[in-house]
């Protein structure tokens, strides 16, 4: 595989990791969880989502560093974080249910809809 192709794949993976990380961090917030599931998840689930979010962002940084030298990788990482946050914000404002796919083990909405 050529080096430009590998760099492109690493940066695409970094964007996916940042997007998932921002989504998990958003789902850990009570107001956004209310939008997505109709209820606030228990504290243990919110902690797990915060941990997943942080690990997603760190993974994105590692992938950016693997794709390029440190000064450019840090710039690309910050731009990726901003873009990911914007995408998650748009998803929350238009289609919050789409974020359920990031945490399929959380079954809060199913329980409240069945009641």
Distance CA 45, CA 65 (A): 30
Distance CA 17, CA 3 (A): 21
CA angle, residues 22, 26, 27, in degrees to nearest 5 = 120
- Residue range 17-57, pLDDT digits in tens: 999 999 999 999 999 999 999 899 899 999 999 999 999 99
Distance CA 98, CA 32 (A): 12
Predicted structure pTM score: 0.87
Least Cα distance to 22 among 81, 71, 69 occurs for 81
pLDDT for residue 90:
97
pLDDT for residue 110:
46
């Amino acid at each position: 595989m050529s080096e430009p192709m590998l760099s492109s794949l690493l940066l695409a993976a970094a964007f996916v990791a940042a997007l998932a990380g921002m989504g998990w961090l958003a789902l850990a917030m009570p107001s956004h969880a209310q939008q997505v599931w109709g209820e606030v998840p228990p504290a243990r689930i919110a902690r797990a989502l915060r941990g997943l979010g942080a690990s997603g962002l760190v993974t994105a940084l590692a992938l950016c560093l693997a794709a390029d030298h440190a000064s450019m990788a840090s710039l690309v990482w910050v731009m990726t974080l901003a873009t990911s946050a914007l995408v998650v914000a748009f998803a929350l404002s238009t289609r919050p249910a789409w974020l359920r796919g990031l945490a399929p083990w959380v079954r809060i909405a199913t329980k409240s809809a069945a009641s």
